[in-house]
């Protein structure tokens, strides 16, 4: 399921509440992170997750930004555009406010170039 998600979304930073084919993929991955932190994760499973690009320390990958980007992609697929209203809330997150902030940061050239490319 993670491979399917990663191929579709281009990353493997799965939101905690995300379900893939009716299964709680996000929650399962969160459990695996906890197991790894405790030193209880099966090494072969850990290796397979890393092989598909799974990032153990989400802070290094800015999970909040990636989660918001994931929500933007969902919005775009559903609506056919990325003109998110400023007060729009998607899956409990203030997506409109986040996107406006990204646009403002881009205007003053403070958005990481790799993120600008993702947003284009």
Q: Which of 118, 115, 95 is nearest to 105 (CA)?
A: 115
Instruction: Say how far apart CA 27 and CA 16 lie, in whole Å.
Output: 5
The per-residue pLDDT for range 22-74, each reduced to its tens digit, is 999 999 999 999 999 899 999 999 888 887 777 776 544 466 788 888 899 99
Instruction: Say how far apart CA 46 and CA 43 lie, in whole Å.
Output: 5
> pTM for this one?
0.49
The per-residue pLDDT for range 99-120, each reduced to its tens digit, is 887 887 777 665 567 776 777 7
Q: What is the torsion angle, in degrees rounded to the nearest 10, for the CA atoms of residue 114, residue 59, residue 14 and residue 115? A: -10
- Compute φ and ψ for 98, nearest 5 degrees: -60, -45
Gap between the terminal Cα atoms of the chain: 27
């Amino acid at each position: 399921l993670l491979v399917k998600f990663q191929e579709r979304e281009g990353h493997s930073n799965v939101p905690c509440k995300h379900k893939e084919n009716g299964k709680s993929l996000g929650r399962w991955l969160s459990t695996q992170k906890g197991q790894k932190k405790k030193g209880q994760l099966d090494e072969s499973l850990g290796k397979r997750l890393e092989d598909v690009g799974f990032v153990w320390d989400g802070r290094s990958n800015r999970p909040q930004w990636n989660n918001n980007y994931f929500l933007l992609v969902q919005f775009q697929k559903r609506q056919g555009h990325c003109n998110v209203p400023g007060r729009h809330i998607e899956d409990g997150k203030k997506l409109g406010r986040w996107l406006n902030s990204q646009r403002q940061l881009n205007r003053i050239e403070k958005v990481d170039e790799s993120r600008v490319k993702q947003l284009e």
